[in-house]
Amino acid sequence: MRSLVALALIGSALSVAPAALASTAGTFAATTSEILAQPYQPDYVPTGLDSAFDTLVPNTAPAEDYTTGSIPDSPDLPAWPADFRLVTISSGDGAQLIARVAVHPGTHPGVVVAHGFNTHGIESVIRWAAMPYARGYDVIASDQRDFFYESQAGYGAAFPQTFGWKESEDVLAAGKYLAAQPGVGAVGLVGYSEGAQNAVLALALDQQTRSHVFSAALTFSGPADQDTQVYSTAVPAGCATPLCTFPASDALTALVVPQQTSVCGALTAAATAYGTTGFSILAHESAVHAQTAIRVPLLNFYTADDSLVSPVMPQLMAAYESGNPLQQTIELQRGEHAYFFDRWWQQRAILLYFKAMLPRAASDVTIGTDATVLRTAGGADASAQTVALGPSSRAWADAQLAPYVCDTTQGVPGVVG
C-alpha cells in the first residue's frame, strides 16, 4: 500500500511545474517568517471588545473558548453574527452535520474551521469563525459527527464518533459544501486540537479526489497519531494489556462522546457500527503519515507546555515533513492547547497565512490581516520563543508510535496506516 502511495506522490509531484512549486514554496517560507516576526505575548491580557461580532462581545482569555465560552445558554457564549446561517450538511457516508455558514456578496476566498474534541463542537470555534468572516472570507464552521447537536437531533446513533477517521470525511464534506456556494473562491482550512489532526487527514483525502477542495491549511495542537496520543495517557506508563488504564482519556471521552465512558468502549461501538475493528479505525488516524500525501501548503503550530497533547507529536510531524518545502511544524514555548495564550498573535497568524497562501486572496482588497482583538504590549517576536524540534528521521518517528491501546499484543496501528 505504501508503494502505491509513493507512486501516486511521484506522479503528483511531476505534475507540478518546478517554477510554480518554487514560487509557492518561496511564498510559504516568507509568510511563515512574517508570522514568526509578529510579537507573541504569552502573558496576554484580554481587554476591550472583539470586533468580529455584531453585538458588544468582550475579548476573553482563549481558555474560555473550550470551557464556559462554548456552552449554550452560558452568558460567556457569544451569539453568532447574524450572517451565519444554520444549515445541515451531509458527509460522504450520509452522516448529518450541523453547520454555520456565512458568505459575502461577490467572489472571495473561503475558510473551513474545524473544531476540536469539544462537547459542543462548533460553539468552541465561534470566535475563530467570526474572525475570518469579519476580515472578508466566506466561512463554514461545521460539526463533526455525533457531537452534542447531532446527538440531540438523533443523527449520532448510526454514525458514532471515531476519534478522527470518519470525522476527517466530515471536514472534507464541509469544504465541499463551502466551495459549492456561489462566489466562493479558493478554500483554506484551519483546525484546532482533534480538528487539527482531522484537517491533516482531510487534506490527504482531498488529494484522492479529482477536483481538490483545499488550497492551504493551518493547524494548532493536533495529535500526530491518535493511538500514540491515547497511549501517552496510559497508567502505568509503558504498560501492556490487560494492565493498561487510561483515566484521563476515558474521562474526556465520557464528557464528549455520547453514551460512551471509555476510549476502548467508544472504539468498539464505532467498529460495530462501521463494520470494522478498533485497530483499523486507529490505523486510519496517523496524521504524521497522511501528511506525506498532501501537496498544498501546510503549517502546524504546537506549544511545549501543552497539557493535553503529548510532547512527541510536533517531533513526529517535523520528522515526516523533512525536506518538503510546503510543510513546516513550529513549537512555541508557551501557549497551552489549541487556542494559544495570545489571541491577537494567533489571529494575525491565521489572517497573514491565508492572505498569502490562498490563490487571489492577496489581490482581494476586501481581505484584511488586522486582528479583531487588541494586542497586549510586550512580548518578543514569536521566532525568539520557539523550541528547536531537532533533526530526526522517519524511522525514528515510527519507532515512537505506540501499540494498539485496547490490545497491545496486536501491534502498532500507526505503522499499518
- Amino acid at the residue 164: G
Cβ burial 207-245 (10 Å sphere, 16+ → b, else e): beeeeebbbbbbbbbbbbbbbbbbbbbbeeeebeeeebe
Percentage above 90 pLDDT, the chain: 89
- Of 214, 285, 196, 291, which is closest to residue 5 (Cα–Cα)? 291
Report the pLDDT averaged over residues 374-398.
95
What pLDDT shows up at residue 417? 54
Under 8 Å between Cβ of 113 and 137: no
Q: Which residue has the cell 519507532?
A: 399
pLDDT in tens, 69-114: 999 889 999 999 999 999 999 999 999 999 999 999 999 999 999 9
The pLDDT of residue 416 is above 80:
no
Q: How confident is the model at residue 257 (pLDDT cuts 50, 70, 90)?
A: very high
What pLDDT shows up at residue 22? 85
Complete DSSP assignment for 36-99? HTSB--TT----SB-TTSSS--B---GGGGGTGGGSTT-TTSPPPPTT-EEEEEE-TTS-EEEE
Which grid coordinates are listed for 259? 453514551
What is the residue-averaged pLDDT of the chain?
A: 94
Task: Name the residue ranges covered by the structural domains of the chain.
Answer: 23-416
pLDDT in tens, 2-49: 333 333 443 444 345 677 778 899 999 999 999 999 999 999 999 999
**Class of domain 23-416 (CATH, top level):** alpha beta
What pLDDT shows up at residue 17? 65
The pLDDT of residue 57 is above 60:
yes
Which grid coordinates are listed for 390? 531537532
pLDDT in tens, 130-163: 999 999 999 999 999 999 999 999 998 899 999 9
The pLDDT of residue 186 is above 90:
yes
Which grid coordinates are listed for 129? 469563525
Strand partners, 302: 331
Which grid coordinates are listed for 172? 472534507
Classified as helix, coil or strand, 185 is: strand
What pLDDT shows up at residue 16? 54
The model carries a pTM of: 0.94
What pLDDT shows up at residue 104? 98
Report the pLDDT averaged over residues 328-348.
98
Strand partners, 392: none
Q: How confident is the model at residue 363 (pLDDT cuts 50, 70, 90)?
A: very high
The rounded distance, in Å, linking the Cα atoms of 359 and 140 is: 18
What do you get for the CA distance between the two ends of the chain, in Å?
9
For residue 105, count other CB atoms closer than 10 A to its CB. 8
Alpha-helical runs (H) found in 67-189: 126-134, 148-153, 165-179
For CA atoms 233, 236, 237, 242, the dihedral sign is negative
pLDDT in tens, 288-297: 999 999 999 9
- Higher-confidence residue of 402 and 211: namely 402
For residue 280, count other CB atoms closer than 10 A to its CB. 16
Percentage above 70 pLDDT, the chain: 95
